[in-house]
Amino acid sequence: MNGLANEQILISRPAIPLTMFELIRRDGLARIGKLDTPHGQLETPALLPVVNPRLVTVPPREMHDTFGFRALITNSYIIRNDAKLNARAIEVGLHEMLDFPGVIMTDSGTFQSHMYGEVEVKNEDIVSFQRDIGTDIGTVLDIFTEPDWSKERTAGAVDVTMERTIEATNLKGNMLLAGVVQGSIYEDLREDCARRLALLNVDVHPIGGVVPLMEQYRFAELVDVIVASKKGLDPSRPVHLFGAGHPMVFALATLLGCDMFDSASYAKFARDDRFMFPEGTASLEDMKGIHCHCPACRSHTYEEIKAMGPADRASLIARHNLWVSMEEVQRIRRAVLEGDLWELVERRCRAHPALLSALRRLGKHKEYLERFEPLSRDNSLLYTGPETLDRPALLRYEKRFFERYKYPDTEVMVAFEESGKPYAKRYQKEMGDVMETCDAHFFVASPIGPVPIELDEMYPIAQSLFPDPPDLETKERIKEQMEHLSHEHPYALGVAWDGQATIDTLEMMCQKEPSFNIDLARVRAVSDYQFGKDAADLLLDGEIEIRKSENTGKVRNVLVNGEHILSMRANDGFFTLRPPGAARLKNGFHAPRLRVTVKDDSVPFNREGKNVFCTFVSDCDPEVRPMDEVMVVDKDDNLVALGRALLTRDEMFSFRTGIAVKVREGIKL
């Protein structure tokens, strides 16, 4: 642990203004961002094709102008060791040498040390060389930690990587510096390495040493490695998955918060006559036909491609591989925007059982993933298999239901069957044991969890689709939840429907019992679910008036003692807070609950309805999730504005640019 002392010295220095990475859009850990570089802004997620400076398969200019790649990666070690390239790179700079107007990242020779055991260059020299040839993002000469290394050896190597990274921060100049997370398959070492790197003046974080895992299809371990690294890293810096070049893994890696990828595979695979697709690789020999209309393939028949010389064929297939990879990155970008990245990942992970194993591994990390899970999404939640049950959206519902849901105050709705027909009755709690009616039901058993009718319009309940019949895993989950429920809520004993009843049936039945106020029950249940236990009591103390939409019959506005406290959103069934409602919650819940505290110089702007920017946040409820309704307050806890948080607390503190809270309504003095 030699490096630690040095690290601490460096950390105590005043922070140097760092590069800006701005979040444009996010879905969980996945994000669309913009990274400032000396050669302009790079949009992420981004794939950087690897250009071998000695063997150019697709010219960088073509990558930029025709394919639309805005960044590439090349190897500074190869350039430095080649007398001619070295001289030229120093003379005209990397961009002119490669004829590429976009962002250029360079690797340092680390991968060569993995391949050949050793490299003959010092960290100091290769970092300075990268800076001197004008690379935009240069990389530390980190130690490639192999998956078969012992923990001790790995820890030692991580320390060396740390020392070298510190050294590099003092040499980088205007170049962005890539500080690589190492630590092999040891999750604690990865997280620790990431945490130490987060304190350094580094701009981009590649996750390194993962190529062997990908080559050996150890994708489940790759999931562990990415998650461990993400846990330690500074969320405001882009994460690059080093050597991830197969479109098969882009969606999964993006879901876990990787922002950049690089691909040498497009050219390597092409030399072996292998076509890449998001659903896997196909060799020309096996394919027996071309089914691709990418610009490279379209004008050729299968027979023509087979008859080409090896160089022409490799050149065509490399372009195919680039087109397909580019299209997949764009598809993923669209999924982040549309809110169906989980569905895309679950489909992509059917490309190979090893990817399906990786998908299952996400279940191990669902508590962590839930911290970034948005309150709701525009898109429906579509079930694709047992792995869907581990989605953070379902974990969220299950937890909040069991922690926050309360029975309607004065009565219990019981639905039951008699001679095969469903009925509903209402009982006073004071009646005690009403369970003589042994077929009594109150909840609909669903794969999401036990659903009381009051919550049936709320995300993800109304926005989920499951296949019929359910699989064993789903049946088992329903059974467990209902057992748990009957333990937690003895009134609901014997709750599980036999699958015949639907939420519609129940609602219809309740309408036959007009004294049960389903609307009030809904307002109460959603309030507690969204804002926390007892929120409904705080919000609804007084004379309640519920206004409904004339078109849809759904709850729209809630007034208490004549004050408009809540509005219900039609799309996700959650509330937006109105100032009187916020005042009630603020009085009942102590800071920092449901709050984002802003610095004094931000207050006047937010009172005008302007958004809260990250730099002005001084505190935030650690329980806030993306898209949560929050109160913006000043340092004395005065209400300044209402809006929706786009970031978690850690993210608000970490980002130096971008919006923390999208303000809907400023509270003027």
Query: Does 462 sit near a copy of itself (CB under 8 A)?
Result: no
Q: Nearer to a copy of itself by C-beta: 85 or 282?
A: 282
- The string of DSSP letters for 122-183 reads -HHHHHHHHHHTT-SEEE-------TTS-HHHHHHHHHHHHHHHHHHHTT-TTSEEE--B--
Query: Does 669 sit near a copy of itself (CB under 8 A)?
Result: no
Query: Does 153 sit near a copy of itself (CB under 8 A)?
Result: no
Query: Does 467 sit near a copy of itself (CB under 8 A)?
Result: yes
Query: Does 519 sit near a copy of itself (CB under 8 A)?
Result: no
φ/ψ of 30, rounded to 5, equals -70, 145
Q: Nearer to a copy of itself by C-beta: 356 or 493?
A: 356
Query: Does 472 sit near a copy of itself (CB under 8 A)?
Result: yes
Contact 379, 340 (CB under 8 A): yes
Q: Nearer to a copy of itself by C-beta: 232 or 447?
A: 447
Q: To the nearest whole angstrom, how small is the minimum distance from the Cβ of residue 377 to a copy of itself? A: 12
CA distance 461 to 379: 12
Query: Does 337 sit near a copy of itself (CB under 8 A)?
Result: yes
CA distance 423 to 278: 51
- Which H helix or E strand runs over 372? none
Q: Nearer to a copy of itself by C-beta: 298 or 533?
A: 298
Query: Does 514 sit near a copy of itself (CB under 8 A)?
Result: no
CA distance 568 to 525: 13
Catalytic residue list contains 409: no
Contact 178, 131 (CB under 8 A): no
Using CB under 8 A, pick the residue from 81, 357, 517, 657 that binds a copy of itself. 357
Pairing state between β 555-560 and 239-241: unpaired
Query: Does 117 sit near a copy of itself (CB under 8 A)?
Result: no
CA distance 557 to 365: 38
Gap between the terminal Cα atoms of the chain: 55
Catalytic residue among 82, 99, 107, 628: 107
Q: At what angle do helices 187-198 and 151-169 cross, to 10 degrees?
A: 10
CA distance 659 to 613: 4
Query: Does 483 sit near a copy of itself (CB under 8 A)?
Result: no
Closest CA to 111 of 252, 264, 278: 264
Query: Does 52 sit near a copy of itself (CB under 8 A)?
Result: no
For the record, the structure tokens of 194 come out as 């990431």
Query: Does 288 sit near a copy of itself (CB under 8 A)?
Result: yes
Query: Of the ranges 8-16, 265-273, 350-358, 519-527, which one interacts with a copy of itself (CB under 8 A)?
Result: 350-358
Q: To the nearest whole angstrom, how small is the minimum distance from the Cβ of residue 262 to a copy of itself? A: 20
Query: Does 485 sit near a copy of itself (CB under 8 A)?
Result: no
Query: Does 293 sit near a copy of itself (CB under 8 A)?
Result: yes
Query: Does 286 sit near a copy of itself (CB under 8 A)?
Result: yes
Question: How many CB atoms are closer than 10 A to CB 397?
Answer: 23
What is the biggest distance separating any 2 CA atoms in the chain, rounded to whole angstroms? Answer: 92
Q: To the nearest whole angstrom, how small is the minimum distance from the Cβ of residue 440 to a copy of itself? A: 29
Q: Nearer to a copy of itself by C-beta: 354 or 462?
A: 354
Query: Of the ranges 353-361, 485-493, 540-548, 579-587, which one interacts with a copy of itself (CB under 8 A)?
Result: 353-361
CA distance 633 to 388: 38
For the record, the structure tokens of 447 come out as 């794969």
CA distance 161 to 616: 34
| Residues labelled catalytic | 107
Interface with a copy of itself by CB under 8 A: which residues?
220, 279, 282, 286-295, 298, 323, 326-327, 330-331, 333-334, 337-338, 343-344, 346-347, 350-354, 356-357, 360, 378-379, 382-386, 465-469, 471-473, 476
